[in-house]
Structure 1
Amino acid sequence: MSFFKKIFKKIIHDKSDDDSDGHERKAPVKPYHGTVTPHPNFNPNADAAALRKAIESRDVDEATLMEVLVRRSNSQRQQIKAVYQQDTREPLEEAIKSALRSDFEDVVMALLMTPGQYDAYELKHAMKGLGTCEDVLIEILVSRSNHEIKEIKKVFKEAYDEELEEDIKNDTSGDFLTTLLALCQALYDAGEKQRGTDTSVFIDIFTSRSGPQLHKILSLYSKYSEEGLAEAVQDELKGDTEDCFMQLVKCAWNTPAYFAEKLHLAMKGFGTNSETLTRIIVSRSEVDLKKILKEYKRIYGRTLQEDILAETKGDFEKILLELCGDN
């Protein structure tokens, strides 16, 4: 365990050296890697009217629903929702629920939520009823930023009148619970808050360091240790806690590859996990889906779109392909 502490001290030292000149460093403008972009000629009134017509037609016009919702950014969809409710006195979500069914409905409903609402919904759904879908809890909490986790907690409280941490306490236990609660503290800015001495070094370091810092830890570990980090995690941790840390490591090392693997596993073998496909493709469509598509092709030798065509069908297939953009 002391090995991790030594590496962390080196990272803090390097960070101090980087900032020693006293100059404020401006963050570079980040390139955009999403597949969904704002519509240049956006008109929420026209879009709301088009959706109303599509929903109220004798046979629901799914093509128009896809054309409008996929080709608008999330912020634009929120404006469309507001106009639709103002014009019809009915929430757009309720109209969609009465008109659609199956996996296609799930994608459309996901597109109508804000990112924070969708993450909160998925977390609640993962802990609802008998049993807990640990993989969903891990995926969301290890891959979201400090700001995003704070927003999820805020929305979760507003939507369900419950604290996210309390729900997690009721559905998990042991070191896995400790890890998830640490992630919920939104500590992805190093030094924001001191960790307690009763928390293990693994949980301390891996839940309170930024993505770049974790990436540097992994690089240094491979230089100074003959044992791989994966083996170290397996030696120290078991069960859901081990799985959580392995996903933390994968996500910190290469986030697009992490999601590419999860998408691949969702379509591997008998049956397709449509919920995972929907969650990842929708939630990353305005973040890094282009990079995920690139990693998918690099790792598996074929495009994500090819596998979607092979494993899904109907309007569900069409809307996923639309969200993925050009092949």
Structure 2
Amino acid sequence: MSIFKKFFKDNVHDRDPEKESVKEKEKPKYYGTVIPYPNFNASSDASVLQSAIESKGVDEDVIIAILVKRSNEQRQKIKAVYEASSGKNLVKSWESVLRSDLEDVALALLMPPAHFDAYLLRKATKRLGTDEEVLIEILATRTNSEIQEIKRVFKQEYKQDLEEVIKEETKGDFMNALLALLSAKRDESTEVDMELARKDAKILFEAAETKGDIDVSTFIDILTTRNGPQLSKTFHHYAAVSDLKLPRALQMELSGDIEDCLIAIVKCAWNTPAFFAEKLHNAMKGHGTCEDTLIRVLVSRSEIDLQKIVEEYRAMYENTVHEDIVNDTKGHYQKVLLGLCGPY
């Protein structure tokens, strides 16, 4: 896969996670593109939205301006005030006046993050055929506390434990990997244990070199519990003892959903924004656009690391994400996506 050349520059020895972690500390702490609106007034915004919804020929521009210039927390306050003052459900009001992709992104922005993730996981497991890509993306990229909150909301909204749904909809090593991610036991510190990195690299190498089938459980255990910097250092040591980089070894030994899952975890450990930049690029390349992926990534990362994703996209591909959105979308839907991406 050519994408590995972009992620790993085809030579992991060229990167030093310890030096890069120092640079990280010099950057601003917030990497989202959507920030809380100053001088926020929920009552005023609710009134403006009501007028925009009830005006002859709904004013989408006003709705978009509020959506992309308010944080999710502020949107929740607007929703509460709107419903208290108008006696109408804001979701149903938008469903009655907005259409197609604009409606989808607007409703996504109105959900609290954990509710949006729970909704996506429900949608991925409820339809005919499980959407494994969505399961992998969400569970491999959320923090321990986010996963715990997703599980709580999923149970509350859909009356089922998410773990039980995963057991019903998946199987084998892939199921085990997802359940390990759902256990939310990843080390989230930034500390690197050099001796552990060498030990893990040796264990992974031996697991990959096992005669017959690869020891997948060992990969799952290490990849789902170590922190990102720790795994990055492990990947360095793995490259020193093996003729193959770890992603290539996984590609050669595995196939199907478990291959996709473990490689996604490796990519996220190395560079999460680049992982999402690739997702956005794949959603827009070639003929047709995967609107679900565009909405999912831009909405879910808009208050986390979308600035970094936009920067990685610029570095990895010929066009910027803004340019590709302009080429692949149109109208008010295009406008709201560009608004989420921040200044060009």
Which TM-score tier does this pair reach, normalised by the shorter chain? Answer: 0.7 to 0.9
| Structure 2 segments unaligned to the other structure (5+ residues) | 1-24, 190-214
Q: TM-score, normalised by structure 1?
A: 0.87
1:224 to partner: Cα distance: 3.2
* Alpha-carbon distance change, 248 to 58 in structure 1, aligned in 2, over 3 angstroms: same
1:190 to partner: Cα distance: 7.3
Question: How far apart in 2 are the matches of 1:173 and 1:216?
Answer: 31
After TM superposition, list the pairs within 5 Å mapping 1:1-327 onto structure 2.
31-189=29-187, 200-327=217-344
SS of residue in 2 equivalent to 1:41: coil
Q: TM-score, normalised by structure 2?
A: 0.82
Amino acid at match of 1:294: E
Amino acid at match of 2:337: L
State the match for 1:11 in structure 2: none
1:60 to partner: Cα distance: 0.8
Amino acid at match of 1:148: E
Q: Deviations over 1:20-67 (max 9, x none)?
A: xxxxxxx99961111100001100000001111111111111001011
1:296 to partner: Cα distance: 0.5
* Alpha-carbon distance change, 134 to 224 in structure 1, aligned in 2, over 3 angstroms: same
Contact 2:229/2:269 (CA < 8 Å) preserved in 1? Answer: yes
Question: How far apart in 1 are the matches of 2:77 and 2:230?
Answer: 37
SS of residue in 2 equivalent to 1:33: coil
Question: How far apart in 2 are the matches of 1:190 and 1:57?
Answer: 49
Sequence identity of aligned pairs in percent?
55
Question: How far apart in 2 are the matches of 1:190 and 1:55?
Answer: 43
Question: How far apart in 2 are the matches of 1:121 and 1:165?
Answer: 15
1:90 to partner: Cα distance: 2.1
Amino acid at match of 1:60: V
Question: How far apart in 2 are the matches of 1:204 and 1:146?
Answer: 16
1:270 to partner: Cα distance: 1.4
* Alpha-carbon distance change, 264 to 29 in structure 1, aligned in 2, over 3 angstroms: closer
1:290 to partner: Cα distance: 0.7
Amino acid at match of 2:126: K
Question: How far apart in 2 are the matches of 1:101 and 1:167?
Answer: 31
1:91 to partner: Cα distance: 2.1
Q: Deviations over 1:115-143 (max 9, x none)?
A: 10111111111111210111011011111
Amino acid at match of 1:287: I
Contact 1:37/1:71 (CA < 8 Å) preserved in 2? Answer: yes
Amino acid at match of 1:224: V
SS of residue in 1 equivalent to 2:126: coil
Which range is displaced more, 83-92 or 108-117? 83-92
Question: How far apart in 2 are the matches of 1:199 and 1:261?
Answer: 25
Amino acid at match of 2:224: T
Contact 2:173/2:217 (CA < 8 Å) preserved in 1? Answer: no
State the match for 1:19 in structure 2: none
1:238 to partner: Cα distance: 1.9
Amino acid at match of 2:257: D
Q: What do you get for the CA RMSD once the two structures are aligned?
A: 1.8
